[in-house]
Amino acid sequence: MKALKVDHIGIAVKNLDETLKFYTEALGLELHGTETVEEQKVKVAFLPVGDTEVELLESTSPDGPIAKFIEKKGEGIQHIAFKVENIEEAIEYMKEKGFRMIDEKPRYGAGGAKIAFMHPKSSHGVLVELSERK
């Protein structure tokens, strides 16, 4: 298994509309759409930067994972996602190497990706997402 590139950087935010102003007006990034992922209780905005993306994440529920993250750590970088060629093979590879996975099977992610998260205890405190997009 080899990570092909940084697919995106996920940033937890309290207010998507306010945060978008900074990224579009101050940094000149272009919004390429938003999506609500009901399963993860999150609204996502996509801002491409070169061949990667900034992914802004706003919770749609007070008990969602992004709301819990912000409550515990405040707004900021929540995860880094690496593109992989085959998500199922990547998950098995990580498990075989002894890395702890939060997701042992792929699940639906924003933008039509198949994703799986590694436990931060296996990746030195960083929430790592493996992402396969066609």
Predicted TM-score of the model (pTM): 0.92
- The answer to whether 57 and 78 have CB atoms below 8 angstroms apart is yes
Q: Residue 102 has which token pair?
A: 């939060």
Is 3.40.50.920 the CATH classification of the domain at 5-132? Answer: no
List, for residues 47-77, the tens digit of each pLDDT value.
Answer: 999 999 999 999 999 999 999 999 999 999 9
Domain residue extents for the chain: 5-132
Q: Which residue has the tokens 């066609």?
A: 134
* Tens-place pLDDT, residues 12-31: 999 999 999 999 999 999 99
